[in-house]
Amino acid sequence: MSEKHERDMNILFLEVCKNIQLLSAEVYHRFGDAYGEIPSAALLWKKAALEEENHSRQFELLLRLKNEVAFELIPTDPQRAWHVQRIIIKLLDILKHITPELMSALTLTIEMEELLANLHVQKAVRFMDESVERLFKACGRADQEYVGAFERFRVTQLLSMSEIKDNDHETARNKDKIFHGYLSDVLLN
């Protein structure tokens, strides 16, 4: 592979990663809006959306600095990035038609963050200059914090679910079956 072709592929990979962050932010904004009646949940998703938008800006900055800052991509399968992007686009299409129940939305958020973990600047790029490396790593520390916040919130919701009436559980299960059916179709196609 020629050096120019490799550089072009690297730039394309960074563009896809930037787009993935924006798509993820859109998912989180939708969840935040959908669960506005639960302020603590809405706030978590709004914060997560803003973090993803910040990740996108990091990729944008890196793309602008690509000729001034020496870096290399940490071996990542570019096909994986394109696959993740397709999944999130399809997920957004599903979310236009149906909103998952709170627990499914929380679980999906945690799973998405696990899927995205290696597609953030801090994990996908190695900088030759230590000061630049530290700058981008500092930007990524908030991720673990908000994923932990989602996990803690999910646990509190599980504990409080024992107080909900059986009818409400049945309605939620039926709605989630529909959502998971759509989601399974997306992941298989």
Among 4-18, 38-52, 131-145, 175-189, name the one with the lowest average pLDDT: 175-189
- Structural contact between residues 126 and 72, judged by C-beta atoms closer than 8 angstroms: yes
Per-residue pLDDT for 150 more than 90? no
For 8-45, the pLDDT digits (tens) are: 888 888 899 999 999 999 999 999 999 999 999 999 99
Which contacts (CB < 8 Å, 24+ apart) does range 76-79 have? 76/13, 76/118, 76/119, 76/124, 78/9, 78/12, 78/13, 78/16
> Alpha-carbon distance 145 to 150, whole Å?
9
pLDDT of residue 39: 94
Burial 110-129 (b: 16+ CB within 10 A, else e): bebbebbebbbbbbbbebee
pLDDT of residue 15: 93
pLDDT of residue 181: 57
Domains and CATH numbers, the chain: 3-188 (1.20.1260)
Look over the chain and give the mean of its residue pLDDT values, rounded to a whole number: 81
pLDDT of residue 147: 76
Residues 6+ apart with CB under 8 A from 116: 20, 21, 24, 84
Burial 99-108 (b: 16+ CB within 10 A, else e): bbbbebbbbb
Percent of residues, the chain, with pLDDT higher than 70: 79
| Banded model confidence at residue 100, pLDDT cuts 50, 70, 90 | very high
Q: Choose among 150, 175, 133: nearest CA to 49.
A: 150
> Alpha-carbon distance 6 to 12, whole Å?
10
Total-model pTM: 0.80
